[in-house]
Amino acid sequence: MLTTSVQRSSRSVAIWLLIGVLMLMIQVLLGGITRLTGSGLSITEWKPIMGALPPMNDADWNTAFEKYKQIAQYKKLNSSFDLSDFKSIYFWEWFHRLWARLIAVAFIIPFVYFIVKKKFKKEMINPMIILFLLGVLQGLVGWIMVMSGLEDSKLVYVSHYKLAIHFILAMVLICYTLWFALGMLVPKEKIIADSGIRKFNTWLIVLLTVQLIYGAFMAGLKAGPYAPTWPDINGTFFPVTDDSSWPGIAIFDNPYMVHFIHRGLAYIITLLIVYGWWKYILSHPSSLFSKTKWLLPSLVLLQVILGIFTVLKSPFTKKLVWFGTIHQFVAMLMLLSLVWMTYIVRKNTVKNTM
């Protein structure tokens, strides 16, 4: 009876964590929309409590608009904006911040409840502390990123480097939360030992992480419209660039080179995933690995199609926003599916301590 009670407690904590994963994924998508619509610098202040409400009357809206007029983005890019235009970009940044507040509430209230009900096991304490610190760090980096765009008189958008750091930290938080939950949901007898598959998955995660960084660079540099063609890049295989910094920092800063590298990594990852699926297709029949091995190749093929459409539609802002958002969502699913595969396939079988 005691064992059953402990299992139920662990399961309820795991479900809470999975809800957190879903909410965090939505937050990342909102961040992507905020970036693609150019909304990220529309709110020039950080008010943790009062900022949960948007401007409530004309006077408040005009005050917020006047503050926006003081930053470089308005002066250099959006000087033609009227109040209606400002409201349209304000919404996404406000919603992005509001959702972050909802995530905090969804963490704190159940956390307190689980403490009161003594549902946390000793083994959960350290992972919970790490989870909390990752969340705080993510919020801090997000605000530093926004502040850099507000205070710099030259930037009309936040740095694509800071954007990439903010995005990757979000993915680390999501993956860690999923891993934590899986520890309470997957029985130890379901975990298989295969060092070959484990090593292959680990390298795929590394490569996909680099690809995600370049995806953030693509969004941060607005690189899509620079080459809205496929399979060529404006009629050539290798992009034509007069960037004097080539071949140095151009691979991080030049939109054409970032575009080229992002595409190239996509092809490499696709081929590797198809190769891995073919190589391990008959491995470990009747295991969780065997039952879910179709996930990754299916997602990568969908992602390639979405990537092509995102590039082709990139000159059209509204289409770019929605194709880009779906493209980002599938990228997250790919990473999470790799985390799942890595969790259930180890070098050696392990004890389930949750």
Annotated domain spans of the chain? 1-185, 189-354
Please list, in sequence order, all residues whose beta carbon lies within 8 angstroms of the beta carbon of residue 29, skipping any fewer than 6 positions away: 325, 328, 329
Mean pLDDT confidence for 340-351 = 79
Under the banding of pLDDT at 50, 70 and 90, the label for residue 289 is confident
In angstroms, the first-to-last Cα distance of the chain is: 17
Per-residue pLDDT tens for 131-165? 889 988 888 888 888 777 777 667 677 788 888 99
**What is the rounded CA–CA span in Å between residue 189 and residue 14?**
18
- Whole-angstrom Cα distance, residue 47 to residue 216? 27
Question: Looking at residues 256-282, what average pLDDT do you find?
Answer: 91
Per cent of the chain over pLDDT 90 is 34
Cα–Cα distance list, 215 to 43, 200, 313, 331, 344 (Å): 25, 22, 16, 9, 28
Query: pTM higher than 0.85 for the full model?
Result: yes
Rounded CA-CA distance 102/199 in Å is: 37
Q: Which residue has the higher pLDDT, 2 or 120?
A: 120
* Cα 255 to chain centroid, rounded: 21
Instruction: Give the tens place of pLDDT for each residue, 191-238.
Output: 888 888 899 999 999 999 999 999 999 988 888 888 889 888 888 888
Least confident of 118-127, 220-229, 240-249: 240-249
pLDDT score for 6: 47
Question: Quick check: 283 and 290 in contact, CB under 8 A?
Answer: yes
Q: Give the pLDDT score at 254.
A: 87
Q: How far apart are CA 331 and CA 333, in angstroms?
A: 5
Q: Do residues 29 and 325 touch, judged by C-beta distance below 8 A?
A: yes
Average confidence (pLDDT) over 286-301: 88
Determine the residue type at 244: S
